[in-house]
Amino acid sequence: MDTIPPASASAPVPSPVPGPLGRLTLDQLRRRTSMKWRSYPADVLPLWVAEMDVSLAEPVARALTEAIALGDTGYPAGTGYADALAGFARERWGWDGVTSERTAIVPDVMLGVVEMLKLVTAPGDPVIVNCPVYPPFYQFVTHMDRRVVEAPLGPDLRLDLAALEEAFAGCVAGGGRAAYLLCSPHNPTGTVHTAAELATVAALAGQYGVRVVVDEIHAPVVAPDAAFVPYLSVPGAESGLSLMSASKAWNLAGLKAALALAGPAAAGDLARMPEEVGHGPSHLGVIAHTAALREGGDWLDAVLADLDRNRRLLASLLAERLPSVGYRPAPGTYLAWLDCRALGLGENPSEVFLERGRVAFSPGPDFGTGGTGHVRLNLATGPEVITEAVRRMAAAVAGRAV
């Protein structure tokens, strides 16, 4: 069994009663065969890809077990997923904007993004993104023969609305078409956009004729003292398109399903989506996501409390052991964006941390402009693992063996 050294006397002491993110041992986790646990050798501590170190929420496990016992493994049908999201949105965000008539089941969020962009752009058209941003934004957009245009975040890691307007104006100059692929909450920074920011986005999009497609996969993963605002809920967003899923919040990436949502003025666009796109989602995925949204609220609240603890723990450990690493705890997602430029580890410090420290992070350069010298750390794990990860980082910087 893996042995993780205890934190130093000055480091925060983890809670003696583990939450969902502290119940599984590394031995148990390494029995998993998913990407997180099979991409690196067993001596590497994996804190990179967005998988959570949790057991399934009980309502989700129960729904899947019942479906398998019934042999209910056919094709997805009905509006249960959309109805469950509508209830969740009403309870959590005070939003009544999810209607089954303006939703469609898609295989996952990124494939849904591709289908939405196909509806509102043509090959060669620009798609604006806020860098640094989730690497598949670049990959999927370029693979579908669209052109990525960057509108960098501001120094505070929030939307730079002046840079965004400049990008909008440049992309539609001469009468061209453009789309804006917004990440909300933002990956990798964890920024949760405000209602005022999103309303300004909608106003700018309307002014310049830019179509907005929003990846809101991390929407449920927002700290209790912050507020997620659905893009389609703000004034002027009627022509927007959104993608939502229970995937990130309940660790269901292997159970493929997501929902595309259209604002009232975009319902006709969504209706043009090819019928065969709806054949891609997993029926078991739809069952799992529906159960999560309907009955998984208590489990999610426990995870959110764990994440709040982990953000504070990481900030404390970095201040103690690696004070030159820049980290701004943010209320969204379960990801931490670390500025390691002052460590002098080059453009891609994740390589040094992997080679010397045997800890794997997502490389900052993969996130586009603004990612050089950074790494992304996955906070969705136990406090002991985070403590060990920072110990390994410090050892790598100091040139010591881990």
Whether 13 is covered by a domain: the verdict is no
Whether 1 is covered by a domain: the verdict is no
At 321-373, the pLDDT tens digits run 999 999 999 999 999 999 999 999 999 999 999 999 999 999 999 999 999 99
b/e burial code for range 180-189 (CB count within 10 A of at least 16 → b): bbbbbbbbbb
Last residue of a domain, one of 271, 295, 319: 295
Beta carbons within 10 angstroms of residue 30's beta carbon: 15
pTM value? 0.94
Tell me, yes or no, whether 52 and 84 share the same domain.
no
Tell me, yes or no, whether 284 and 318 share the same domain.
no
Tell me, yes or no, whether 242 and 320 share the same domain.
no
Q: How many domains does the chain have?
A: 2
Full residue range of the structural domain in which residue 128 is found: 73-295
Q: Can you give the pLDDT of all 402 residues of the chain as single tens digits?
A: 344 443 343 444 444 567 899 999 999 999 999 999 999 999 999 999 999 999 999 999 999 999 999 999 999 999 999 999 999 999 999 999 999 999 999 999 999 999 999 999 999 999 999 999 999 999 999 999 999 999 999 999 999 999 999 999 999 998 889 999 999 999 999 999 999 999 999 999 999 999 999 999 999 999 999 999 999 999 999 999 999 999 999 999 999 999 999 999 999 999 999 999 999 999 999 999 999 999 999 999 999 999 999 999 999 999 999 999 999 999 999 999 999 999 999 999 999 999 999 999 999 999 999 999 999 999 999 999 999 999 999 999 998 878
Tell me, yes or no, whether 265 and 133 share the same domain.
yes
Last residue of a domain, one of 232, 264, 295: 295
Tell me, yes or no, whether 244 and 353 share the same domain.
no
In CATH, what number is assigned to the domain containing residue 86? 3.40.640.10
Q: Are 8 and 320 in contact (CB under 8 A)?
A: yes
Q: Are 117 and 266 in contact (CB under 8 A)?
A: no
Distance CA 216, CA 231 (A): 9
Closest residue by Cα to residue 208 from 171, 158, 259: 171
Q: Are 97 and 232 in contact (CB under 8 A)?
A: yes
Whether 6 is covered by a domain: the verdict is no
